[in-house]
Amino acid sequence: MRSPSDGPVSAGRWRAGLCAFFLSIGISFASWITRTPDIRDALGASTAQMGLALAGLSVGSIVGVTAAGILVARFGPWRVMTSSALLMIVGLLVIALATVQASTVLVSAGLSFFGLGVGLSEVATNVEGAYLESVSGVTVLPPLHGSYNIGSVVGGVLGIVASARHVPVLPHLGGAGLVMILVGTWAMRGIPVRPGSAGDRPRVRARPASVWRDRSLLLIGVVILGMALAEGTANDWLPLIAVDDFAASKPIASLAFTLFSVMMAVGRFSAGPLLRALGRVNAIRLTATTGALGIVVVTLAPSLAVAVVGVVLWGFGASLGFPVAISAAGDDPARATARVTVVTMVGYVAFLAGPPLLGQLGQEVSLRNAIVVTAGAVVIAGLCAPALRKTRQHV
């Protein structure tokens, strides 16, 4: 394989490029998430109105995920990833400018651009990661997703500092966009530019409709649905739960989200030994149980200190479901693009559409009570874990 710089690409540089790309997405996402209390206050929005603003992120992401399979098969992952990064950068800038204008509609529009980029990138990067996993024979996807969480930690820490020092949203998100340009440029130089399914990989066809009839794939979809909802709920609502239900300051609320991201990263970077010791099925059963318990602890916690224990359990418990489900979907190399596209689509429906719906429910019963729905979805995901059983061996 050859890189955009027309030099040879080693498997290590290839993996590093994918990790860096995931890292840049994590920084960008966390930059937005940690400023949600400030953005909400600037907009003067209620919980329900913030839920509607978040719908822009959901719509954009679902459109991106839906179109990504066809685009990846036609143009190859590298070109789709590059385009997605540009969309995310534009989205961050629109969100920042909309906050200055106190326009909920424009924030939603910016989130739509950002979400479209996220949706496209998730399919493209996961297809590329699954392919690298298949040709290298090592566990790749959990560490790649762990890199996203490291980015979330970095972005979260920067968000804490920005919020504590009352840095305006505009320069903060603008800076996050600049970081994405710099990191993304280095990342993409290490990822091979290849055509779509007509390239040097096994021929695949982007026909998501044909794989919807695969019962095992649908069960994998249930797993990723529950676990992605657990991650998405924390991303969208954990800082606001800390502020509204536990009277935490905005920097402390950002710290709660950062702790969640740290535990996600811990889980994902420990995935190799954990999967070798327990296998996919038992590993997901363990993490699903841990995650559901953590959510319940947050719901019932009498104090912020107890809730922090729940956040730790929640973060670790939500860590493996998404990447392991993607890996399982990519077990069949002849249909990898279509299968990964379908599973990613299901995951992002939960990841991005679920939290706004929880916001509407939270308007009636409080966000802390509404997340019990997420705990139930995680339990169901754990029950469907046998669908993840390996059909081929990775080291």
pLDDT of 157 above 90:
no
Residue 209 CA to residue 215 CA, distance in Å, equals: 13
Structural domain span for residue 339: 11-193+207-388
> Regarding predicted confidence, which is higher, 286 or 62?
286
- Mean pLDDT rounded to a whole number for the chain: 85
Beta carbons within 8 Å of 273's beta carbon, 6+ residues apart: none
Polymer length of the chain: 395
Least confident piece of the model among 128-137, 265-274, 373-382: 128-137
Say if residue 235's pLDDT is above 90.
Answer: no
CB-CB contact of 205 with 334 (8 Å)? no
- Total domains, the chain: 1
Question: Whose CA is closest to 327, among 113, 127, 41?
Answer: 127
Q: Is the pTM of this model over 0.85?
A: no
Would you state the pLDDT for residue 210? Answer: 59
The residues that bridge with 2 in the sheet, in sequence order, are 8
Is 202 a member of any domain? Answer: no
Is residue 284, in this structure, part of any structural domain at all?
Answer: yes
| Number of other CB atoms surrounding residue 35 within 10 Å | 26
| 268 is a domain residue | yes
CATH number for the domain harbouring residue 110: 1.20.1250.20
- pLDDT (tens digit per residue) in 111-135: 999 999 998 998 899 888 888 887 7
Q: 379: pLDDT confidence band, cut at 50, 70 and 90?
A: very high
Domain annotation covers residue 339? yes
Residue 195's pLDDT is: 66
Determine the pLDDT at residue 329. 85
Answer yes or no: is 272 within a domain: yes
Tell me what the mean pLDDT of segment 249-262 comes to. Answer: 85
Structural domain includes residue 364: yes
At residue 65, the 3 state secondary structure works out as helix
CA pair distance 64, 58, nearest whole angstrom? 10
Flag whether 45 is in a domain: yes
The answer to the question of residue 148 being in a domain is yes
